[in-house]
Structure 1
C-alpha cells in the first residue's frame, strides 16, 4: 500500500495545445502524452507482469477549479461530479487522474459505481465516443501531493454525457520506465 499526502487540488495548471508542447517534450514522452487511445491499456502493457490497479482516492460533488469550469463551459459556482484516482503498477502510482462531469451531463451515468475500475475502461467501449483535442501542461503543480513532468487533459463526449479527464504523469512513472524528466 501507499499513502498520499493531503490534496492540493486548488492549484491550477497552465494548459496549452498539444502541438505547442512538442518542442519541449522528449521523444520518449511523446507517445505517452500524445496518445489518444486508452491510457489504462498502455499502462497495463508497459507494466508487463506487474499488477495494475486503479486506486480510488476521492469522489464527491464539488465546484470545479476555474480552468476546469472554463474547459467545460460551466459557470464557476456550478457543482460537478469529481473523481480522483491513482493508476498504479505494483501499488506504485504512475498517473493521477481527475475527472469532472457537470451534473446536468450525467444523464443517469452512475460514476460512483465505478469504484476501483478505470473510467477509461467504460469510455473506450462506447462506439460513439468523441474525444476533443488534447491540452498539455509542462511542470504541472503537484496533484494529490505528488508531482511529475507532464499532465494532459481532454473532453470526452458520449451522446449527452460530457467529462473532462485530466491525467498527471508522475515522477515515479518516469523513474520506473527510465524516461527523461522532460
Structure 2
C-alpha cells in the first residue's frame, strides 16, 4: 500500500487536503537538489517505440486512456501530497516564475487494481490558483477539472527518461519508462492560470500492458 508522506521532515499533517490559506505556514514540500532533464518530444521520437509514442504524444485525457487500457481493473487516483511549497528549478523555469515564489503543488499516483501505472506532479503559481478550488480535488483526477475548462491551451510537450524523485519519497520504487510535461494555459473570470503537469509512465504499466521498455 502506498503511504502518504508529510510535506517536510519536520511537520506531519493530519489532513493532506489542507486549505491553501493555511498551508504556506503549515508545511512546505521537500526540495530535491536534482531535477529531470527535459527535451522536446520530437527530439525523442527516434528513440521511442511506436507503442509508447501513442501514449506519450497523446493530448487527450490520460485518465480516460488509462481506464480503457485497464479494462475491468478498478482505477483510482491516489493522492500522495498536496499543498504549498517552492517549485523545483526546472519547474519554475517552465512556468516563467522565480524559484523562491510559492506555488500550489500536487502529487498523485494513477493506479489500476492498486498498482501505480503513472505518477504525476502538478505545479501552478499560488497567486493564480485562488478561486479555482483545485485544493478540493482530493482523489479526483486533475484532468476531470482541466479538460472541462473552455479556452484551454496546451503548450509543447517535453519528455524525459529520468525517474521522478518525488515518487521514491512517496514510497513508489517503480522505474520510469517515459516522463512527459507541458504547461496548460487557461484564461478565466478569476484571472489567467498557468499549470505545469508532469506525468511519468512507470515500468509496472509497461509490464501489465506488454509494452517495450522504451
SS of structure 2 residue aligned to 1:144: helix
Task: Give, in whole Å, the separation in 2 of the partners of 1:114 and 1:134.
Answer: 24
Residue by residue over 1:67-109, the C-alpha shift from the partner in whole angstroms, topping out at 9 and shown as x without a partner, is 0000000111101000000000001000000000101211411
Q: Is structure 2 residue 179 aligned with structure 1 residue 151?
A: yes
Q: Is the 8 A contact 2:5 2:81 kept in 1?
A: no
Task: Give, in whole Å, the separation in 2 of the partners of 1:6 and 1:149.
Answer: 27
Moved over 3 A (4+): 1-9, 139-143
Q: Is structure 2 residue 122 aligned with structure 1 residue 99?
A: yes
SS of structure 1 residue aligned to 2:106: strand
Which residue of structure 1 aligns with residue 199 of structure 2? Answer: 167
For residues 14-163 of structure 1, the aligned pairs below 5 Å read 14-145=37-168, 146=173, 147-159=175-187, 160-163=192-195
Residue by residue over 1:158-178, the C-alpha shift from the partner in whole angstroms, topping out at 9 and shown as x without a partner, is 111110000011011111111
- Segment drifting more, 67-76 vs 137-146: 137-146
Structure with the bigger RCO (C-alpha within 8 Å, sep 6+) is 1
Q: Is the 8 A contact 1:6 1:144 kept in 2?
A: no
Q: Is the 8 A contact 2:6 2:81 kept in 1?
A: no
Q: Which of the two has higher C-alpha Rg?
A: 2
Task: Give, in whole Å, the separation in 2 of the partners of 1:141 and 1:102.
Answer: 21
Q: Is the 8 A contact 2:123 2:197 kept in 1?
A: yes
Task: Give, in whole Å, the separation in 1 of the partners of 2:159 and 2:4.
Answer: 24
Structure 2-normalised TM-score? 0.80
Task: Give, in whole Å, the separation in 1 of the partners of 2:142 and 2:63.
Answer: 9
Unaligned runs of 5+ in 2: 8-29
The count of corresponding residues between Structure 1 and Structure 2 is 182
Cα root mean square deviation, aligned: 1.8
Task: Give, in whole Å, the separation in 1 of the partners of 2:57 and 2:158.
Answer: 9
Task: Give, in whole Å, the separation in 2 of the partners of 1:115 and 1:4.
Answer: 13
- Segment drifting more, 78-87 vs 8-17: 8-17
Task: Give, in whole Å, the separation in 1 of the partners of 2:194 and 2:83.
Answer: 17
